[in-house]
Amino acid sequence: MELLEQTIQRIEDLDAEMMVNAQLRVNHLIKPAKSLGKLEDLAVRLAGITRQLYAPIDKKAVIVMAADHGVYEEGISSNPQEVTLNQTLAFPQGLTGVCAIANVSGAKVVTVDIGIKGDIPRDAGVMIKKIKYGTDNLATGPAMTRDEAIKALEVGIEMANEEVKNGTNLLGTGEMGIGNTTPSTAILAVLGECDPLEITGIGAGVGEGGIVHKAAVIRKAIEVNQPNRADGIDVLAKVGGLDIAGMAGVMLGAAANRIPVVIDGYISSVATLIAVSIEPKVREYLIPSHFSTEPGARKASELLGVEPMLHMDMCLGEGSGAALAFPIIDAACQMMKQMATFAEVGMEL
C-alpha cells in the first residue's frame, strides 16, 4: 500500500507552459494550420507530459501482464485455460502478435507472470511476479482480496519504475489471460452502470452457453459481490483480474515518472478506468491506440472521454494495438523536431 500511495502523490498535472510553447511551434511550422490534425495535438501533449518541447521518445516497451481467472470455471470460454501459460511462454521467443508488431518500431516486449495458474520456468524469460495462482471465481465471491488487488497494482508500478530506470521513455500496456474479457466487462458494467448483456462480446472464444450465459455470469458476479462503484480498488478486487490490476499499475507508475503510456484495446481500456478512478490525473498521460471490436470498447472509451487513433478491426489484445501506434507517436515527435517554422526558413506568414 505504501508504494501505491507514494506513486499517487507523485502524479502531477501536465506542464501547461510547455504545452503553450509546443502549440506555438506547431502553429508556425511550414504547413497550413491544423493540416497535420491529431499529430499536432499529440505532439503538444507529449511536450506537456515530458516537460520537454522535443519529447525524447526513442526507447519503447510493451509490458504484458499474464494471469488466469477463476471465473473460467463457469464455462465462459471455449479455450483451454492452459493456453494462458503456453502463450506466455511464446512472448520471450518473439512468436506472438504483439512481438511481431513491436519489432517494427524496435520496441521490446516485457512479459510478467502476475497470476498464471501454473508455474513458469525460471529460465523462460518471463518476469515472475505472481500474486496468486489465478483469481478466485468472481461468480461465487470476490476475485481477490483488497490486499491482493493493491499488491497487483504495485507490481505494475514496480515494472514501470524498472523500465524507466532502464531508460524506457514510452510504455504500452498488454495482457494475456484466457477469460479476461469477463472480469473486464464486469468492471465496465459496474463503472458504466449498464447491463452486462449490452457490452458482452465473444472475447477469444465464448463457451457453449454463448454471450447470454457469459452476461448472466457477469450479472451474477455483480449481484454476489456488490462492488462499490465509487471505490475503484473495491471494484477491481471483487470483479476484476490480476492482469487488469497490473496494467492499471503500469499506468500509475508511468504517470508518476512523466512517461507517456499507450493503452491497447478493450481490456487495457478497462484497466485505464481503474487507474483513473484511483487518480484522475493519470488520464492525461495516456494515449489510446485503437478501437477494439469488442462491444464494450466504445463504452469504455466514452467513459474515459478519449477517442482511439486507429480503426483496424483488431481484438487480439497482448498490447498489439499499442505497439501498432508507436510509429504514429514517433511521427508526432519527428514533426516537432524536423519540420522548420516559417521564421526559420525566412518565409513570411
Q: Determine, yes or no, domain membership for 33.
A: no
Q: Determine, yes or no, domain membership for 232.
A: yes
Q: Determine, yes or no, domain membership for 23.
A: no
Q: How many domains does the chain have?
A: 1
Q: Determine, yes or no, domain membership for 119.
A: yes
Radius of gyration from C-alpha coordinates of the chain: 20
Structural domain span for residue 189: 60-327
Show which residues are catalytic: 318
Q: Domain of 134: which CATH number?
A: 3.40.50.10210
pLDDT at 22: 98
Given a contact cutoff of 8 angstroms between Cβ atoms, the answer to whether 92 and 126 are in contact is yes
Q: Determine, yes or no, domain membership for 339.
A: no
* Continuous segment of H or E residues that includes residue 97: helix 97-104
pLDDT at 349: 62
Cβ–Cβ contacts within 10 Å for residue 200, how many?
Answer: 29
Q: Determine, yes or no, domain membership for 113.
A: yes
Q: Determine, yes or no, domain membership for 109.
A: yes
Using DSSP, state whether 337 is helix, strand or coil: helix
Q: pLDDT under 70 in the chain at which residues?
A: 349
Cα–Cα distances (Å) from 161 to 154, 195, 217, 249, 254, in that order, read: 10, 37, 36, 10, 7
pLDDT at 207: 78
Q: Which residue has the cell 478519449?
A: 306
What is the C-alpha separation between 269 and 282, in angstroms, rounded?
Answer: 13
What is this structure's pTM? 0.96
Q: Determine, yes or no, domain membership for 191.
A: yes
Instruction: Express each pLDDT in 202-253 by its tens digit.
Output: 877 787 788 999 999 999 999 999 999 999 999 999 999 999 999 999 999 9
